[in-house]
Chains A and B, each alone.
Chain A
């Protein structure tokens, strides 16, 4: 089992460009999450999904969109990248509600917006 994988691992964008980050899990988990991690801020929830076809906003959703068309994939989109979105992005999945089940994290995507 690969667990949780993220594509790409690194990316540099110019302000205003768009991109999509892909998260895939092969554990048949219902719940999936996108976090961003900035120095001194810990991990902050951007969006999450409680099952195929569902998405919901987290703590810092502005500037991002998500989709979960297939249970195993969770996509994070930046329509018009801004320097404030420079961060490390982590995807995670859990078998049940994140409150009572551990979250399994992907290796992260380091994004720089110039």
Chain B
């Protein structure tokens, strides 16, 4: 049930772009994205809902392909503050309120 994220890790220079992918083998109702810095709690970035509604962050964008059960997070013109581990979280159809997080993508932005 756990979604699969790719890549597992990425290193960027400031100003470069990155894409993080999240895919599930099950039908998704929604996809969340969170960022966690070392030693801290995860922080909400964005929610994408089946049907196209999005809630979240102005400077980060994401897409949700309902047919392929995939979501991608787009980080453009990366800043040092973008460093951290990114997790997607998913709620599946017909599982009540079960929520599954992916294993994470470590993003490091260097000067």
Question: What is the interface of chain A, defined by CB distance below 8 A to chain B?
Answer: 31, 33, 35, 40-45, 48, 50, 56, 58-59, 90, 97-108
Residues facing A in B65-111 (CB within 8 A) are 87, 89, 91, 96-104
- B104 to chain A: which residues have CB within 8 Å? 42
Contact B47 A90 (CB under 8 A): no
Question: Are B41 and A108 interface neighbours, CB within 8 A?
Answer: yes
Give Cα A99–Cα B96 distance, bound, in whole angstroms: 9
Q: B residues bordering A, Cβ < 8 Å? A: 1-2, 29-30, 32, 34, 40-44, 47, 49, 55, 87, 89, 91, 96-104
Count of chain A to chain B residue pairs whose CB atoms are closer than 8 Å in the complex: 66
User: In the complex where A42-B104, A48-B97, A98-B99 touch, is A107 in contact with B41 (Cβ < 8 A)?
Assistant: yes
Q: Is the CB of B98 within 8 A of A58?
A: yes
Chain B residue with Cβ nearest A102: B44
* Closest partner residue, chain A, to B29 (CB atom): A99
Within the complex, which residue of A41, A48, A101 is in contact with B103, where a contact is CB–CB below 8 Å? A41
Q: Cβ of A99 and Cβ of B42 under 8 Å apart? A: no
CB neighbours of B42 from chain A (8 A): 43, 90, 103, 105
